[in-house]
Copies of this chain bind each other. A is one copy, B any other.
Amino acid sequence: MTAEDFRTIWLKPDDPAIVQIIDQRRLPHEYTVHDLRTWQDAATAIADMYVRGAPLIGATAAWGLYLAALEDADPANVQAAAKSLLRSRPTAVNLRWAVERILRIVATPGPDLVQRIRDDAQAICDEDVEISRGIGEHGVALLEEISKRKRGGTVNVLTHCNAGSLATINYGTATAPIYFAQRRGIDVHVWVDETRPRNQGSQLTAWELAASGVPHTLVVDNAGGHLMQHDMVDIVITGTDRTTRCGDVANKIGTYLKALAAHDNDLPFYVALPSTTIDWDSRDGIAEIPIEERDPEEVSHIYGTHDGKPIRVCTTSNNTPVSNYAFDVTPARLVTGLITERGICSASEQGLLGLFPERRGP
């Protein structure tokens, strides 16, 4: 996954009428490359979660519009496809952003619409890789410093959920510093939180670290505190879905508990983020960020394999009431720093405005 040319979505080298993705639904049990031949294929891939992760969803929609234009370059056709694609995952912010970006190209008169859309879909992917690269280059300094302090000993990183290559185009966000460390020959090992209820850690992060040859160990979400008490963790790095202007961080449920444990054990807790996920209009994450409640069946049922065949089992009584909050908010006071594509800053308004001065008020 860390190779320069390895991506989660790409144009088929010998057939530019086909866009290819990894069917992430089958991970970690099976690695399947899936062909998108029509914009409808792209819509299905988004809606049925062949692809997930905000940047990758956006890129898939952009490539979907390229496939629509390839079929029929009439702007009305591309616009109709855009309308349908927007419905494939209605709450995904990057989906809307990418579709609107392509629609601006459609609205601009000029020759060869297909080529122009193709170039912009490619640019969306390339820009996302650049953001991840920036996060990786800035974040790797943290791991280098720990490696030096430990005289080349293993740097143990703990991460929660999947803020990895599979959620982006390449490198990921939380994983980017790890992949960059591996390249520089730093001895890095990752504790992978299982991440109940959807198990993105055991299903996706463990898979992509294995694919890249990064040493790692899966643990249940309950284990992180014990590992930190016993000097088995040097740094925690997670991703985030939304960061407030003051540095509060909304991320996968359970992130807050790991931040508390890091704080209690005097360990650094960093959050990696593309600046596009900063919500400059909100300040107090706990009070202001609404937390999605998802289907209770994500908790009561689980996918796995039995005799090599995928199967879904129920792990509770049928009548057990379940609640399923998807995210929690880690207050800025527990966050050692934010790793962005522009550099690392403190989790505070002052820190963020230092890197993004254009966001200062009038």
Query: Chain A: residues with CB nearer than 8 A to chain B?
Result: 28-29, 194-197, 199, 202-203, 206-207, 210, 216-227, 229-230, 252-254, 256-258, 260-261, 264, 286, 291, 299-306, 311-317, 319-325, 327-329
Contacts and interface: CB of A to CB of B under 8 A. Distances in A.
A257 B225 contact: yes
- Which applies to chain A's interface (DSSP): helix, strand, loop or mixed? mixed
A257 B222 contact: yes
Given A199-B315, A203-B315, A302-B304, 14 more contacts: A196-B221, A206-B317, A207-B317, A218-B299, A218-B300, A218-B316, A219-B324, A221-B254, A223-B328, A226-B291, A226-B327, A260-B264, A302-B315, A306-B314
Contacts of A225: 254, 256-257, 260, 328
The 10 A-B pairs of least Cβ separation, nearest first, read A222-B254, A304-B313, A226-B328, A28-B317, A196-B220, A260-B260, A225-B256, A304-B315, A222-B253, A257-B257
A286 B226 CA distance: 9
Contact of A224 (B196, B257, B314): B257
A104 to B, nearest CB: 39
Contacts of A261: 256-257, 260
B256 A323 contact: no
A320 B218 contact: yes
A220 B299 contact: yes
A307 to B, nearest CB: 10
A202 B323 contact: no
Nearest to A202: B316
Nearest to A291: B226
Number of copies: 2
A195 B220 CA distance: 9
Given A194-B196, A197-B220, A229 B315 contact: no
Nearest to A327: B226
Contacts of A303: 313, 315
B325 A226 contact: yes
A300 B201 CA distance: 12
A313 to B, nearest CB: 3
Contacts of A196: 194, 196, 220-222
Nearest to A195: B222
Contacts of A286: 229-230
B305 A313 contact: yes
Nearest to A316: B202
Contacts of A317: 28-29, 206-207, 210
A183 to B, nearest CB: 22
A206 B321 CA distance: 9
A295 to B, nearest CB: 13
A205 to B, nearest CB: 10
A222 B227 CA distance: 16
A223 B329 CA distance: 11
A224 B303 CA distance: 24
B328 A229 contact: yes
Contact of A329 (B229, B302, B325): B229
A110 to B, nearest CB: 48
